[in-house]
Chain A
Amino acid sequence: GAVVSQHPSWVICKSGTSVKIECRSLDFQATTMFWYRQFPKQSLMLMATSNEGSKATYEQGVEKDKFLINHASLTLSTLTVTSAHPEDSSFYICSARDGSSGAYNEQFFGPGTRLTVL
């Protein structure tokens, strides 16, 4: 089956530093990747949609200069949290859509990255 990996699985950083999270589709080409954020005991909230080779589309209220998304290849998307602050601490989950799946909008989720900002 389709597998999506994320790296790192958890990261602790100091306030003011930047953190990069990678999302990879291991056995398929992902034309579209999505980034979600999940706060404790809450649901997943979509942050942005990224299509390979083009700029990401951010949801309302998500700062694009703070959460930099790059989808440079069909198997890799990165999310960089710039100048991280404690309120950015969260569980970040990516998902990827198989470009060969036609009209079916099935997405495959990564295992998530736990970010803690001190």
Chain B
Amino acid sequence: AQSVTQPDIHITVSEGASLELRCNYSYGATPYLFWYVQSPGQGLQLLLKYFSGDTLVQGIKGFEAEFKRSQSSFNLRKPSVHWSDAAEYFCAVGANQAGTALIFGKGTTLSVSS
């Protein structure tokens, strides 16, 4: 069965420091992978996605993620965090099959300290 694990429930990073949010997935074939961000009381905003091709994907707001098949990981990175990046981050996996729902990790709360 598909599953997504985000090992870190809460992370605090100083403003200007680098960030890495971890995501591990379990899936039998090549998955579709996504990172979403959610601000309090808001919906989801897609940061980036991986379907195939280059394993390093660039997203919005300066985020990037790297797909590592050998480690079943899709970690999200940002070289310099801004206070506005404080939010909830969700990693999700989807099957390579149209019409199937996404499976979400439990999320990582990012706090940014000044």
Contact call A42/B43, Cβ cutoff below 8 A = no
Size category of the binding interface on chain B:
20 to 34
A-contact bits for B39-65, CB 8 A (1 contact / 0 none): 001111010010100000000000000
Contact call B90/A31, Cβ cutoff below 8 A = no
Chain A: residues with Cβ within 8 Å of the partner, total of 26
Q: Is A32 an interface residue (CB 8 A)?
A: yes
Contact call B101/A103, Cβ cutoff below 8 A = no
A-B contact count (CB 8 A): 63
Partner of B98, one of A93, A102, A110, A111: A102
CB distance from A13 to the nearest CB of B (A): 18
Contact call A105/B99, Cβ cutoff below 8 A = yes
* Secondary structure class of chain B's binding surface, majority of residues: loop
CB distance from A75 to the nearest CB of B (A): 17
Alpha-carbon distance A63/B99, docked complex (angstroms): 21
B-contact bits for A85-100, CB 8 A (1 contact / 0 none): 0000000010101000
* Secondary structure class of chain A's binding surface, majority of residues: strand
Q: Is A68 an interface residue (CB 8 A)?
A: no
Which B residues are closer than 8 A to A by beta carbons?
32, 36, 41-44, 46, 49, 51, 90, 94-107
Sample 7 A-B pairs with CB under 8 A, ordered by A number.
Answer: A34-B102, A43-B107, A44-B44, A49-B99, A93-B44, A105-B95, A110-B43
Which A residues are closer than 8 A to B by beta carbons?
6, 31-32, 34, 42-46, 49, 51, 93, 95, 97, 101-107, 109-112, 114
